[in-house]
A and B are shown apart, each in its own frame.
Chain A
Amino acid sequence: MNTDITASAKPEYPVLDRNPPFTKVCGNFNTLDYLRFVTITGVSVTVGYLSGIKPGLKGPSMVTGGLIGLMGGFMYAYQNSAGRLMGFFPNDGSSDVDGS
């Protein structure tokens, strides 16, 4: 299996970690990432609740919407955080390349 990260476009910003581990990416979530996570989850819960009114399924629909929103919000936040570490999104340009 191809395990190399071979980007077709070079990172525009300083590369902090070319292949950051899962825990580092989660630890790198900033306020905006948490805000995105919460917003997407909140919107999904609301959509679930509102769409569940008519069939009389408010609670379960809210939970399903919440699950979808949690997953989507987490993936969106993870994507942004990993992108900052890999240099694809704007970061603060710290010289901590590969932990050195």
Chain B
Amino acid sequence: MFNLFLAVFPEIFIINATFILLIHGVVFSTSKKYDYPPLVSNVGWLGLLSVLITLLLLAAGAPLLTIAHLFWNNFFRRDNFTYFCQILLLLSTAGTISMCFDFFEQERFDAFEFIVLILLSTCSMLFMISAYDLIAMYLAIELQSLCFYVIAASKRKSEFSTGAGLKYLILGAFSSGILLFGCSMIYGSTGATHFDQLAKILTGYEITGARSSGIFMGILFIAVGFLFKITAVPFHMWAPDIYEGSPTPVTAFLSIAPKISIFANILRVFIYGSHVATLQQIFFFCSIASMILGALAAMAQTKVKRLLAYSSIGHVGYICIGFSCGTIEGIQSLLIGIFIYALMTIDAFAIVLALRQTRVKYIADLGALAKTNPILAITFSITMFSYAGIPPLAGFCSKFYLFFAALGCGAYFLASVGVVTSVIGCFYYIRLVKRMFFGTPRTWILYEPMDRNKSLLLAMTSSFITLFFLYPSPLFSVTHQMALSLYL
């Protein structure tokens, strides 16, 4: 029986590492002998090490992780899809932590608990991705959310950060309540919480009568809860304020990691539960609304972080196209979209963090960046062009595949809205590029070289974005396999 735990070695390791780091932080940050040292950087490096070892355990033990593919009374499922999403999540977490170190120094940020909470939320997201039961899924979502509420407010001396944390708490609790209500309605109507049982009950089930209206409302509430969490329109209102108010590394983490885990949950719940037809229309509408609002609202923004927040809402709309299709190609395009979006967002936020050194907060502050830091300006331009979907960058490949999947399933209106909003989106992305290369700075700008961690991260992500078109087939074949494993 002990060998069943081989299936969750990565999770066991990261939990234990988190507790070791927590004890280390508590003991030594309050130690008079060591003169109350600031430990955030120290815990950060050890946290990064823990994430990399978790990644090693996951990647190297892949065949073994499926030995208990239905684990703990069938609460969790380990398969190829889980594997792909967890690898992507851990890479995103490692990228986010590695871009934080200079931020800690520049902003004199001294809360080691920040890293501990990131690791704890990563662990919860690992469980979320493999959850195969409504209860397991909800518990993992709550653990993740509670960590996020705290890290959003981690910069205690900033009222913006405190306000962001409070807003996130209230709205996150509200959306969790809606999600739980949906789960309870499903359980009340069917008596089941396990996805396999729900799939058997609901396949071919006609939505008529009181019991089925309970099921329908339950599915709707669960969908609304999920749409809140991924900041899809019309449940997006909290995102720009919270993304802007939170510390920048937190914003980067919030933009990437929960979207990976929530989309994985959405696919598990709704593909296995066989309620795709019911929800297709809801996601269809939310996708169109997110694309349109993401494109139009971002045009009016003057702050870089708010612009990236609306850009993220727009990208959620594009990624939802994949789910709206309801086909294997749609799911594959969703997974490709998530992967490329994660890398582009890591790239974008690493650049924003690098720009913070020169106190760039507004778009207008980007003036003449090309003269003071040309390499950074070129990297930012590549990222913006990729976000805009300009070929041959990775963002274009992701959008192309999403629109192609939409056309393949007959959703011509969805694809055409996507294309039009991409063109509109080009305006504000290229406006940033224009500002960097042709604008004049508002104040004096001092050139400060970027730290090594961020430069390495930027080199890797921008190389991927630029060169992806040369050899995209490994990602395409892996995501096709993952999409097939969902249906089989």
Cα A21 to Cα B4 in complex, Å, equals: 11
Smallest CB separation, A80 vs chain B (Å)? 7
B21 to chain A: closest residue by CB: A64
In B1-47, the 8 Å CB interface with A consists of 1-4, 6, 9, 12-13, 16-17, 20-21, 24, 27-28, 34-35, 37-39, 41-42, 44-46
A11 to chain B: closest residue by CB: B63
Main secondary structure of the interface of A (DSSP, over half): helix
Contact of A71 among B3, B13, B39, B79 (CB under 8 A): B13
Contact A55 B42, beta carbon cutoff 8 Å = yes
Cα A44 to Cα B70 in complex, Å, equals: 33
Contact B67 A57, beta carbon cutoff 8 Å = no
Q: How many residues of A contact B (CB 8 A)?
A: 46
Given the complex, which residues of B lie within 8 Å of A88, measured CB to CB? 63-64, 67
Given the complex, which residues of A lie within 8 Å of B53, measured CB to CB? 40, 44, 68-69, 72, 76
In A76-100, the 8 Å CB interface with B consists of 76, 78-80, 82-83, 86, 88-89
Contact B49 A68, beta carbon cutoff 8 Å = yes
Main secondary structure of the interface of B (DSSP, over half): helix
Contact B24 A6, beta carbon cutoff 8 Å = no
Given the complex, which residues of A lie within 8 Å of B2, measured CB to CB? 21-22
Contact B41 A71, beta carbon cutoff 8 Å = no
14 additional A-B residue pairs with CB within 8 Å, beyond A2-B74, A55-B38: A2-B72, A7-B66, A9-B63, A12-B63, A61-B42, A61-B46, A68-B49, A68-B50, A71-B13, A71-B20, A72-B53, A72-B56, A83-B63, A86-B3
What residues make up the interface of B, taking CB atoms closer than 8 Å to A? 1-4, 6, 9, 12-13, 16-17, 20-21, 24, 27-28, 34-35, 37-39, 41-42, 44-46, 49-50, 53, 56-57, 60-61, 63-64, 66-74, 78-79
What residues make up the interface of A, taking CB atoms closer than 8 Å to B? 1-3, 5-9, 11-12, 19-22, 25, 40, 43-44, 47-48, 50-52, 54-57, 60-61, 64-65, 67-69, 71-72, 75-76, 78-80, 82-83, 86, 88-89
For the complex of A and B, list the 3 residue pairs with the smallest distance between their C-beta atoms, beginning with the closest: A55-B37, A51-B45, A72-B53
